[in-house]
């Protein structure tokens, strides 16, 4: 991985995070996007900061708040300028800036930054995965399996099948974690599994997938059993399962919509 691209993505995430914090815990006007998700001026300002920096690379930028999905591009930045706007508005501190570099449908670099926590994750599959928190850098290493599974849960996008998954897999602890921070915590070994059983957009997952895969984990499309790929119609993901190393897909029982084993 080109060190200059890594540095650029990290710098863009941190600059966007600083911008977002100028709006944090303030009374903001909020619009509703066509899909019902909230949009604030923090999302929009972050988008402009990131785009201005990443444009220097000469690589197209696909952003949630942008207008061009660049569906024909083979190499592009995939960005969520403020992932977890509901967490941001609820002042949970667990919102993130997501920046990924996609090459031929695969995330090859990912940066996740939680500015309110000053918690940064970055990684390139096959090369490195790191967390930097309050200036202290830690390499993400594979840790042993736990006696009881720790499952990440969404505060705002839960699904009844998540409860069925937890029951069938005898999950010991369900831990609510906001936005893409889940994937960083999986990479670090603080969580074990995250079943995402409602739809997402590609910019929600790409950076986290790069970081998690760099740490030996996986995000598998439940329809194909293969890693999520990018450039799908409307840039939408189906259901998927994210888990850390050394766990394997065969370690988990999946569920259908009526909660039965599959």
Burial call 16-26: b when 16+ CB within 10 Å, e when fewer = bbebbeebbee
> Would you say domain 150-251 falls under CATH 3.40.190.80?
yes
pTM for this prediction: 0.93
Domain locations along the chain:
3-139, 150-251
> Would you say domain 3-139 falls under CATH 3.30.540.10?
yes
Indicate the burial class of 142 (C-beta count within 10 angstroms; 0-12, 13-18, 19 or more).
Answer: middle
Q: What is the pLDDT of residue 33?
A: 72
Q: Over the chain (262 residues), what is each successive 10-residue block's mean pLDDT?
A: 95 98 86 74 96 98 94 96 94 96 98 98 97 93 92 85 94 96 97 95 98 98 96 95 97 64 37
Helix (H) or strand (E) holding 106: strand 106-114
Burial call 183-211: b when 16+ CB within 10 Å, e when fewer = bbbbbbbbbbbbbbbeebbbbbbbbbbbb
The HSE-up count of residue 8 (CA atoms within 13 Å, CB side) is 19
Q: What is the pLDDT of residue 144?
A: 94
Integer-rounded Cα radius of gyration of the chain: 17
């Amino acid at each position: 991985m080109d060190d200059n691209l890594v540095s650029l993505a990290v710098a863009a995430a941190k600059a966007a995070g600083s911008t977002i914090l100028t709006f944090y815990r303030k009374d903001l006007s909020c619009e509703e996007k066509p899909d019902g998700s909230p949009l604030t001026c923090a999302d929009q300002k972050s988008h402009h900061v990131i785009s201005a920096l990443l444009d220097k690379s000469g690589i197209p930028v696909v952003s949630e708040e942008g207008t061009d999905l660049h569906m024909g591009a083979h190499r592009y930045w995939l960005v969520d300028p403020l992932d977890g706007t509901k967490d941001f508005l609820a002042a949970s501190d667990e919102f993130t800036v997501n920046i990924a570099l996609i090459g031929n449908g695969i995330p090859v670099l990912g940066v996740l930054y939680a500015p309110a926590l000053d918690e940064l994750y970055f990684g390139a599959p096959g090369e490195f995965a790191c967390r930097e928190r309050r200036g202290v850098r830690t390499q993400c290493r594979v840790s042993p399996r736990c006696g009881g599974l720790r499952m990440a849960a969404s505060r705002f996008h839960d699904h009844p099948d998540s409860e069925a998954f937890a029951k069938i897999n005898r999950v010991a602890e369900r831990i609510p974690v906001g936005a893409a921070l889940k994937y960083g915590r999986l990479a670090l070994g603080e969580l074990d599994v995250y079943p995402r059983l409602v739809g997402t957009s590609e910019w929600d997952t790409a950076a986290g997938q790069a970081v998690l895969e760099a740490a030996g984990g996986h995000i598998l499309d439940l329809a194909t059993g293969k890693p999520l790929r990018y450039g799908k119609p409307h840039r939408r993901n189906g259901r998927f399962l994210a888990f850390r190393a050394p766990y394997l897909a065969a370690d988990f029982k999946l569920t259908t919509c009526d909660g039965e084993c599959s």
